[in-house]
Amino acid sequence: MSTIPAFGLGTFRLQGQAAVDSVRNGLELGYRAVDTAQIYGNEADVGEAIAASGVSRGELFLTTKIWVDNYAKDKLLPSLEESLAKLRTDYVDLTLIHWPAAGNGVSVEEFMTALADAQAKGLTRRIGISNFNIELTRQAIAAVGKDAIATNQIELSPYLQNRKLVDFLQSEGIHVTSYMTLAYGKVLGDPAIAAIARRRQATPAQVALAWALQLGYSVIPSSTKRENLAGNLLAQTLRLSDEDMAQIAALERNGREVSPDGLAPQWD
Predicted confidence (pLDDT) per residue in 49-77, tens digit = 999 999 999 999 999 999 999 999 999 99
pLDDT at 245 > cutoff 90: yes
Share of the chain above pLDDT 70, in %: 99
* pLDDT at residue 1, as a whole number: 35
The burial of 228, by beta-carbon neighbours within 10 Å (0-12 exposed, 13-18 middle, 19 or more buried), is given as middle
Residue 27 to residues 8, 180, 182: CA-CA distances in angstroms? 10, 20, 21
In this predicted structure, the answer to whether residue 2 has a pLDDT above a threshold of 80 is no
Assess whether 217 carries a catalytic annotation: no
Mean pLDDT of the region 145-155? 98
In 10 A of CB 24, how many CB atoms?
Answer: 18
Question: Which entry of 31, 40, 71, 217 is annotated as an active-site residue?
Answer: 40
| Other residues' Cβ atoms within 10 Å of the Cβ of residue 75 | 16
pLDDT at residue 178, as a whole number: 98
Residue 183 clears pLDDT 60, i.e. is over it: yes
Supply the pLDDT for residue 206: 98
Question: Among positive and negative, which fits the CA dihedral 206, 212, 216, 217?
Answer: negative
Q: What is the mean pLDDT of residues 26-30?
A: 98
Residue 168 — pLDDT band, cuts 50, 70, 90? very high
pLDDT band at 234 (very low <50, low <70, confident <90, very high): very high
- pLDDT of 102 reads 87
Residue 82 has pLDDT above 80, yes or no: yes
As a whole number, the mean pLDDT across the chain is 97
pLDDT tier, 103 (very low <50, low <70, confident <90, very high otherwise): confident
Q: What is the CATH number of domain 9-184+217-227?
A: 3.20.20.100
- What pLDDT does residue 3 have? 86
Pick the more confident residue, 3 or 252.
252
Report, as an integer, the average pLDDT of 67-93: 98
pTM of the model: 0.97
Residues 6+ apart with CB under 8 A from 11: 19, 22, 23, 34, 35, 36, 40, 42, 45, 46, 222
